[in-house]
Structure formats: structure tokens, C-alpha cells
Structure 1
């Protein structure tokens, strides 16, 4: 069979080609016939797979490399790690390949040219990889869906965010694009078909094939994107079934682990909340008016202004009394000062939604007064799934006015939970951490501990309080007692034994971790005592809200018993005011010790202790707390993952810490829970009707 007959062509085109070839010299005609021969379909299939994999490798390069030097090996290593996981039953590599392939098919059908589509795909992948690298270098954060809004409205400001080394990255990306386009152009030149996908079909049929070829994969990709963020949807099942394991505390690690495309699409359309029945402007005006009346009633008996005081939220990492855990006994008290203090001021036990993790969720609830109970079970991290795209982000610190009065401190990486970005959106002027534009001043550690001590964090906090004569809001997140616990402290005289009523013996590993943890509690107790004494010497009113975010995930023995679930979700908290506050009529003497709570109620409790007037929103939280002491999503006694809120009924506790059933609540309490959903939906997913009211405004 001759070369002309090996690949069929339309008769008219074949006739024209033969006439042209006959005008050439024999040698030229032979070369012409060789160089213009269409590629066989199996060659296109191989090229499709290679381009698909190359696009993924380029995308992985953008989130993998950590220096300004372009290192192909880092991308290949990351890609190979994903391939190796398939031997362990994790097929996230194939998931990424399939998603890119779907996009590739859309381009192929839209352009009807294989080589043009290939060039576009590689160009776009390279551009995204370069943008990912630049953002990671500047903020250690990958491209998020919220960045698309920034791109549309602030394109002219992008250059001001570029980090050092940007010209090299942009130049290298441009070189990759030029090479990719050049290779595709050469392949097209030597391909007699020029990469045409619909070759033989008559024009109407060919157009129909291309339209279908665009619509079907586009609908498939759109359906996956719209459903992957919703629990138990087909997109969710496909993604998790193929090995997507969200790691949303660190967006860069998440993209490296699961692929930047999978990570991005998962966050594109998360299901936040179901719209409550009756939601609308009229309903929200009714809610606002109801709690404006409640605020007026509460404020009749109060004569202070909340923002006349400095308020410090101290989220103490993993702080919780270990002697309260079933089966655990220590040879001495790890928190004598805080235990005594809790009997003298507003204090008690906080119901935590996390165990061994989930810090940012407790942090979010404390700063906003919103509750994880009201979110859809698909939503696991408001810091990643709510705040980045929120149009309105009211938070406690904003009551203190301009951002200069709001300060955040966290002696760790600012990228965790995208805190640096989120704190800026919440209205904080500074977020002091170990990296970034604001570096925390004190970074001392204790013995072999890898984390900054609480004593050092308190020193940094005191400096910020003393800097200003104005009232402030400070959010402090400590790190000293973060897992793991590897015998860090030199002088540790704690001993851990099984309590007399324990039903199972702890392992030696568990006891060793508990020894280190208990010593950390003692060091926190001592540092907190010194911190409060220093605040007592400052001549301006200061109130501290101190709480542990969750228990550490080291209680393996206690966790094996499901009856201990509630006990493993109770941490310690207290609200304390300094001597300058007492001069203004605020006293720490209270009957509110041993009160159960959850972090969404803390600002209302602080206002109560300070005899401070409240906004309609704080009035709502105040009244709800008198009816429901604490509330959280279903609790589990294992370290919570990042797939979903645990299944089951929300946990509601009364003032005695006893579980409450929603079915047994009176009509007014159930109405308040419905109002809570309306308020939260309006803020995070609705039309922000409350923004146009005085619902969040403190009285003059």
C-alpha cells in the first residue's frame, strides 16, 4: 500500500494535493509526501497522555519548589510521590490526570486543533504554576478561589505583591511557554492533518461533534466542581474514593499532597449552610428589632462601655486539666494558680468542637460569635471555606474601631489556616508571627521544646499593651503545648499512673507523652500567673479571656471508650479583669465560677463581667447563653479529620453540663436557635441584610 493510501483523506483535498505534488521535482515531491503525512491516531493518543502528565508536572512544580531557582527535579519528585501512592491504594494522581484530561478535551474540541490545544494547555499550566510559586514565596499560600475576585478588581495592584526573584520566575515561565509553543508548532508543521480533530465529517456533522465534545466534558467538570464540596455527593465520593485527603490547615501542603487542581476545585463551591425557612429582608429586620429591644433592656442595668477596656483573648494551645480525663492520675497538680483563680472569677469548662486539632474553628467562633453547629456538615474549616470569599466579616475586634486597635500574636507560621490573610480581612492591623511582615518580638523556647514558650508569648503581648494608651483588642494564640510531647523538659518531676477507677491500663508511650504535657501545663500556669501580675501593674482597664482550644490527642486509652467523648471535649477557661478595671467598678468577685460555655459566648460573658452595654447581637448571645450554656457539633474522641463535621446530633449543654435535647427545649429557646441560624446565614452566605442595621453596633 502506498503512503497516499495509508491514511484516507477527503477526495477533493487528495486531488488538490496530488496535483500540487506533480508540479514538483521528483525528490521534492517525495519529501513533500513524507513531511505532510498525517499522524496516526495512536501517536495523538501518546502525545495526549504525555502532554497531560507534563501539565500536571508543571502545576506540581508551582506548589513544590521553595526557592527562586527552577528545579525540575523537585517537580518530578513530587509527581513520583503521587505515582508511588497508587501502590498504597491512593489514586489522587489519576484524579488529577483525569481532571486535566477533561480540560484538555474541551480545548481540543473548541479549537479543533490538537497542537493548538496542547500549546494552550501547557501555557495556562505554566502561567498558573508561576503564579502559585510567586504567591507561595510572598505569603506561603496557594491560589484560592477568593483570589479570582482580587484578580478581577485589583489587577493593577498585583505587581506590588511580587516577591524578590519574581523576574527570574516570570522569565523561566516565559521560556517554558516559548519552548512548549515552538514544539507544538513544529509538530503541527510535520503533521499533515495539522492536528485537526474532526477530519472526515461533513461540516454540519463536524460542528455538532465539536459542540457535544465541549458540552459533555464541561458539564462533567462543572458537576464535579459543584458537588465535590458537598458531603456524600457523587463528586465528593469520587474525590475521596480516589485518595483526596484534605489538609486544609496548610494550603500549600494540601496542594502538594492532593494536587493544586483538586485542592482548588474542592474549595470553589463549598456548601456553607442551608437557607433557613423564611429568610429575607423582612425577617431579618424583625430579628434585628427583637434583639434591639433585648439590648435596651440589658443596658438599663449597665453603666460601662465595652471598648473602654483592653480585651485580650488568650487561646492557650491544648490547655486542659489532665486530671479530669478518666483513668489519669498525676502525682501533683499541674495548674494550681489557674485552679485557684477559676474559683475567684468568671470561669468554668468550655465545650470544644475539636480533639487533638481544629484550633482555628474554636478561634473563629470566639472572634465572630458564630457557631460550628449552624454550618452544613460539608464545611470543616471556616478560615478556608468561608472567610476568603466573604463580603461581610463582622468580628469582635471590630468593636474597637479602626484596625490599629486590633493586634494578633501567634509564635508560629502565619500561613497555618491562612491566618495572616484572614486576620487582615477581619480588621487586624498587625499579625505578629515567626515569619511574614510582622515578626513577633520574643521567641524563646524551653529546654528541647521546638515551640516558643508561653512566657515569651506573654512578653510580646505585654509590649503591645504598653505601646498604646488607647484601648485595644488582642488575639493571642500560644504554641508551647502543641503536640507531639517528646520528653522536652529537663526538670520534669511529674509521674503518671492509672487511676484507681480506670478500666484499662495506659501504655508507657501514653504515660510518657502525658508527663511532658503535664509539665507544659505547669509552665503555662506559672507564666499565666506572672502575666496577670504584670497586667495588674498597668494603669488601664484590661480584661483577659483565657481558654484552652481542645485536649491533646494523646488519650488513647480514654478515647477507646465512647462514653468518654464529652469528657475529652471539655477544656478550661476563665475571664479576669485587672486592678485598673476594679477602679472603674468592675470586680472579679462573681458567682459565675464553674459555668459551662463555648467560645461563641465569650464576648457576651466578658461584657457581663465588665457590666458593659451590649449591641443587639451581643444581647442575643447573652440571652441564648442563659438558655443553652454550651453548644458544639457532634463530638468524637478521635483526632478529627478534614472531610466533614462528624455525624450525629449537635451537643447542647445546660448550666450543669448536662446534655440537652432540642426536642425538650421550650418554644422560646427553639425560636432563638432558629434566629441564630438566620443571623449566621445572613452573615456568611446570605444577602447581609443585618449590615444595613445597627445589629452589630454598641450603644454610644
Structure 2
């Protein structure tokens, strides 16, 4: 009897187990069979290894997107990619490769937890990387510019416009990206079939615990990536220190090189949320209305004695690359004067010295200040390059050229890559109809070089400028940025008669390297001097009023001996400028007093005074500001600055005699003007644009 019962019981068990497996096959699959613990361990290791491989593959795909397939003129010495990142990690301890992998890995983890399927999340990651790489490659092919955060605006109402920017090689690029997507999906499907877990990462056990685990593993990486993206653009933030500590070295002058050098992910996220300015405590619509009213009165007072309008003349801003008088540099002695003609011109018209925020670089920041009247002094130290970090995403970009009316009256010329500092894009946003450069839609007419120089000569640039002025009888605003005297200085010129020696009484002799560079640079100054004289003579022959604002953007970074002495800090940031009007102008032979020192943000106010032109409330403000502070720039250094911005310290303010001014010693009116300046600049660049609804920027009718 006992044996019969045991057999019946055994039969019942078998039937029950069979019933369970038949009713719920998914649960049966999830139940670990005999030996399943070892299989689970093996697949866990497989997932971990494949996670690292997919993470690296995603980075490699995106870096392919910014790898150049053709030779282009660049200021960077060479393109950099994954190989360079590996090399830097093992030879210099630069871990920017790991930083990119970490950021991609966090995003990958979010996808894994969101889908809970390894073989779903992985092809999504690789497909997204392929799409990003294809977009990068096509944008670089058309504009030589990496994807910027501001480009995400196209994903809204302007998506259709993307078709206008497809390069001829778009088919091949899209084909490669599609192949990556198809292959990644195919491999994932095969692996899914081989994987007894079907790629499930969190399965079995308590469902609530599993759900909480997944949510936590999505939330924590998302917070880390978001925190990094919103903090890395602010000096002294944790994201900033992590990024710099792991080897991020921003190269803001060239977005493609930046993405090659520092990785697509790092270079993009660094520009997502740069800190522009701290909001002034009293900022509000009411405050800005008061500011607008205050300077409307100032403008009215100035305009009582003015008889012309700015747009009664053609105005040409000439930013002369690295132009400055080398004979002012301590310890440098030349055998002859490299700029006798410009020295004579300066003696006959409004002229002086311009305080520059750069040394050996930073051209676009001086250019930005000249075009907007805004000052780098007011920006947070986190904002290193307005052209890269601010202008592309700005809602309102008022600039002085807009005072000349429609874009057709605003022309830009720069005989170099239009993508440098994203100029081609930014000039359109600033209201220029054409930006003539070496490549792109508008190619500059004259591209002659001198001897072995790799850069277009100033004489050729001036010829292109004169032709643009002669094309129309209408008055225009022209922004001209030269390239002839850009570093390095490699003995380019034949028959260079300049010699460089140590100045009498110098404490420390110049190095041979300095002498070679200064000798080439001095010859370049002489060639610029001659070309500028000829340029002004040609403008004198044109029968319409023309005013030229000529200035050097910064000194070349070749004066290491003088730069070693901190007492030379301000002197190594003073370049030459003049404001000149041709014979057809009522301002010919005008020479404004109190012009010995300036900074580029004041140029439009000085040009208006030169031309006896009526001003807007904004230019009225700049006029009053310049009367109280002759020049202003952020703290300066004697070495070529990287893109960690400017060292800590007080901004540099100079009085009319070129002497430093301490903020604590300024009178109440000057402090009020500086406070108003911060309010104005905050409203334009980071605030609610209250001034846009007023006549603050408008010239009197």
C-alpha cells in the first residue's frame, strides 16, 4: 500500500511541474535551469566586456565624424584623433579619452536601464553615434564647423532647412552611417538569439526592487551628466575641475580641432551652458527703463551739437592682425622704424594706444567688443569666447553695423578660413550680408601672398576692400580682418633688411629665437605700413565720405624676455589705433583730443565724435563711459593665454593719461556708469532683453 501511495504521489508531482511549465513559458525561461548560475555569470562577464567595447565603439564612430578627409589650412599644427588621445594618456597623463568614455558610458547606462535589454540599448547607442557622426561630417564638409549646442534649434521648426546644407558627399556619409546602424542591429539580433537571458539585465526576484534599481541606475547617471553639462562652463565648478583635471584643453578658435583634440562629447557639453554674467541685484524691467531714459537724455544733450548721422558715411573697421609698434617693447632695438607712415598718420588724426585683452591671441574677442560696444570686463571669467559660447545661441545680437540699415550695407572681409571662431555663422547673425573669406559662399577677390608667407597680404586685402566700397554709391559698414602678420614668423620675406639687437641698458638679452621672430615680424609691420598708406590714398580718391577705424588686436606672442617681467604687463597689451576720414568727408583733418588711450568697445562712440554724428542712447552711454574711463580690459598676463580665460584679479581700467585706476578710488559718477554698463550688458547677453523694446539702440530720426 505504501509503495502504491508513493508512486501516486510521485506521479502527481510530475504532472504539476509539467502543468506549470506549459502554462507560463516566459516564467519557465526566466527560471534558472540546472547549471544556470554558471551561465548567468558567463553572460554577466560578456555584458561587461561588450559594454566597454560598445562604449569605445560609440566614441570611435563620433570621432570619425570630425576626422578630416581633405587637407585644409589650419592654425593648429595637426589634426588629432583617438590615436593622439591614447598617446597623450600614456605620455602626458592626459585622460581626456577616459573622460569622453565616462560620459558616453553614463548615457549608455541610462539606455540600458530604460530598456532593460542589452541587445536593444546597444544598437540604439551605436546608431545614435552614427547619426551624430554623419551630421558632424556633413556640417564640417559644408562649413568646417563642428556641431554646436545652438544647432539643436534646427530640430524644431527649421528641420527642413537642413536639406539645404547637404554636401555633395552626403550620399557616401549617409551610406556609412546606415551601414553602421544595420551592422549593429544585425549583430544585436544574432547575440539576442544566442543569449539565454535575451539581454535582460534586471530580471527575476522582487519586481519592485528591480524597478527601483533600474530607476536609480537611470537617475544617478542622468544627474551626473546633467550636472557636468551645466557646470563645466563655469570656472571653479566641480565639472570644470573634473574636465580640466582629466586633460580637457579647450581650443575655442577652431571647433573642429577642439572636437578632435578633446573629444566630440567633451567639446560639445562644454558649450551647453556657459556662465555669461551674474545677474545684477537691481536688474528688472523698471531698472532698465530707467537706464534707457537716463541715456536718452545723455544722447539728446550730445546730439545738440552734432549735425550728421553715422550712416551719412561709409565706415571701415580694419582689425590689423597683431599690429603694434615693436619699438615700444622693452629691450628691443631695431635698425630702422618699421611704421613711419602710420606714425605720421597717427600724428595728423585721432589716434593713440588701444588696451587689448589678448597677447599672442584672442583676436575674436577684440573683434566682438569693437562690433558690439560690449566689454569682456563685464563677462564672467567662464565666458572665454563670445563668438563660440554666446553669439550662436543668442536671441538678440545688436551690433554697430546694424546702424547702417539692411544687411546689404554690411560687408565682412577676412582672407582666411571662414569657420575660424565660427565667423561665417556669426557674421550672418550680426546682420552682415556677405563675409568674404578664402572658402565658402563668398570668396575674397584677392589672395596674393608675399614671398614665402602662407598668409594673404594686407595689400591684397585692401584691394578687395576698395573694390567692395566702389561697387555702390550707398554708404556701408565694412569689417576687415587681416591675416598677413599672424604668427608664426618664419623668415618668410626676401631682402629683409631689419636687424634686431638688445636695447641699451637692457637687464636681460633677447634670445636668438626672439630676434629671428621679431625680425620677420618687423618686416611684416613695414609691409603693412606701406599698404595702409596706399589704402588710405585710394580712399581719398573716392567721392563719398569714408571713415576708417584702424587698430591692432594684440601684440604677437614673441616677446618672452619682456614678458618675463611683470612690470611690462600693461605695456605688452597696448596696440596702435587711429580714426581717419577721407577728403570727401566733412571730418577730414579732424583730430579729437583725449584720444590717447582707448579699448575697442569705445570705437563706435569715438567714430561718431570723429564724424560729428548723432548718437543713440547706447552710444551716448559709451561716450560718457569713455570720458570717465579711457580704456578697460580684464586682468592681463604676459604669456599666451589658453582658454581657461583670464587669471583672477581686478580688471584693468586706465585714465586719460594711461594710468591704472583703482575701483575703490573712483568717484560716484564713474561707479554708477560701470554699474549701468553691467546692467546693459547683462540685459543684452543674458537677461530678458528689456532694452530691445525701447529706443536704446536706435539713432535719432
Q: TM-score range by the shorter chain?
A: over 0.9
What residue in structure 2 maps to residue 676 of structure 1? 677
Question: How far apart, in 1, do the equivalents of 2:348 and 2:497 lie?
Answer: 29
Contact kept, 8 Å, 2:154 with 2:161, in 1: the verdict is no
How big is the shift at 1:81?
1.9
Unaligned residue ranges in structure 1 (runs of 5+)? 1-10, 24-29, 69-75
Instruction: Give runs of aligned pairs for residues 112-123 of structure 1, distance below 5 A.
Output: 112-123=116-127
The answer to whether the aligner puts 1:652 opposite 2:653 as a matched pair is yes
3-state DSSP of counterpart to 1:374: coil
The answer to whether the aligner puts 1:45 opposite 2:85 as a matched pair is no
- Deviations 1:359-408 (CA, angstroms, capped at 9, x unpaired): 00000000000000000011100000110110000000000010000000
3-state DSSP of counterpart to 2:377: helix
Question: How far apart, in 1, do the equivalents of 2:514 and 2:594 lie?
Answer: 32
What residue in structure 2 maps to residue 26 of structure 1? none
The answer to whether the aligner puts 1:264 opposite 2:264 as a matched pair is no
Deviates more, 1:292-301 or 1:84-93: 84-93
How big is the shift at 1:502?
1.3
3-state DSSP of counterpart to 2:317: strand
Aligned residue among 401, 404, 410 for 1:400: 404
How big is the shift at 1:123?
0.7
Question: How far apart, in 1, do the equivalents of 2:589 and 2:392 lie?
Answer: 38
How big is the shift at 1:538?
0.1
How big is the shift at 1:253?
0.1
Distance change (3 Å), C-alpha of 1:530 and 1:41: same
TM-score by length of 1: 0.93
Question: How far apart, in 1, do the equivalents of 2:475 and 2:444 lie?
Answer: 21
Question: How far apart, in 1, do the equivalents of 2:494 and 2:538 lie?
Answer: 27
What residue in structure 1 maps to residue 9 of structure 2? none
What residue in structure 1 maps to residue 425 of structure 2? 421
3-state DSSP of counterpart to 2:480: strand
Question: How far apart, in 2, do the equivalents of 1:543 and 1:171 lie?
Answer: 53
Question: How far apart, in 2, do the equivalents of 1:501 and 1:229 lie?
Answer: 46
Question: How far apart, in 1, do the equivalents of 2:23 and 2:83 lie?
Answer: 48
What residue in structure 1 maps to residue 256 of structure 2? 252
Distance change (3 Å), C-alpha of 1:563 and 1:20: closer
What residue in structure 1 maps to residue 69 of structure 2? 66
What residue in structure 2 maps to residue 141 of structure 1? 145
Count of residues in Structure 1 that have an aligned counterpart in Structure 2: 671
Contact kept, 8 Å, 1:38 with 1:192, in 2: the verdict is no
Distance change (3 Å), C-alpha of 1:594 and 1:688: closer
Distance change (3 Å), C-alpha of 1:17 and 1:289: same
How big is the shift at 1:201?
2.8
Question: How far apart, in 1, do the equivalents of 2:450 and 2:534 lie?
Answer: 16
3-state DSSP of counterpart to 1:153: coil
How big is the shift at 1:13?
12
The answer to whether the aligner puts 1:391 opposite 2:395 as a matched pair is yes
Question: How far apart, in 2, do the equivalents of 1:141 and 1:523 lie?
Answer: 32
Contact kept, 8 Å, 2:447 with 2:456, in 1: the verdict is yes
Question: How far apart, in 2, do the equivalents of 1:12 and 1:642 lie?
Answer: 69
Question: How far apart, in 1, do the equivalents of 2:40 and 2:227 lie?
Answer: 40
Question: How far apart, in 2, do the equivalents of 1:668 and 1:16 lie?
Answer: 88
What residue in structure 1 maps to residue 576 of structure 2? 572
Distance change (3 Å), C-alpha of 1:131 and 1:17: farther
How big is the shift at 1:18?
12
Root-mean-square deviation (Å): 2.2
Instruction: Give runs of aligned pairs for residues 550-565 of structure 1, distance below 5 A.
Output: 550-565=554-569
Question: How far apart, in 1, do the equivalents of 2:330 and 2:504 lie?
Answer: 10
What residue in structure 1 maps to residue 246 of structure 2? 242
Question: How far apart, in 1, do the equivalents of 2:298 and 2:157 lie?
Answer: 40
- Deviations 1:421-453 (CA, angstroms, capped at 9, x unpaired): 000100000000001110000000101111000
Contact kept, 8 Å, 1:271 with 1:379, in 2: the verdict is yes
How big is the shift at 1:175?
1.5
Instruction: Give runs of aligned pairs for residues 260-409 of structure 1, distance below 5 A.
Output: 260-409=264-413
Question: How far apart, in 2, do the equivalents of 1:236 and 1:12 lie?
Answer: 60
- Deviations 1:409-431 (CA, angstroms, capped at 9, x unpaired): 00000010000000010000000
What residue in structure 2 maps to residue 526 of structure 1? 530
TM-score by length of 2: 0.93
3-state DSSP of counterpart to 2:156: helix
Which aligned runs of 4 or more in structure 1 are off by greater than 3 angstroms?
A: 11-15, 17-21, 36-39
3-state DSSP of counterpart to 1:40: helix
How big is the shift at 1:594?
5.5
What residue in structure 2 maps to residue 16 of structure 1? 21
- Deviations 1:580-615 (CA, angstroms, capped at 9, x unpaired): 00xxx3232325375100000001000001000000
3-state DSSP of counterpart to 2:294: helix
3-state DSSP of counterpart to 2:81: helix
Question: How far apart, in 1, do the equivalents of 2:435 and 2:442 lie?
Answer: 6
Question: How far apart, in 2, do the equivalents of 1:137 and 1:288 lie?
Answer: 45
What residue in structure 1 maps to residue 541 of structure 2? 537
Instruction: Give runs of aligned pairs for residues 625-644 of structure 1, distance below 5 A.
Output: 625-644=626-645
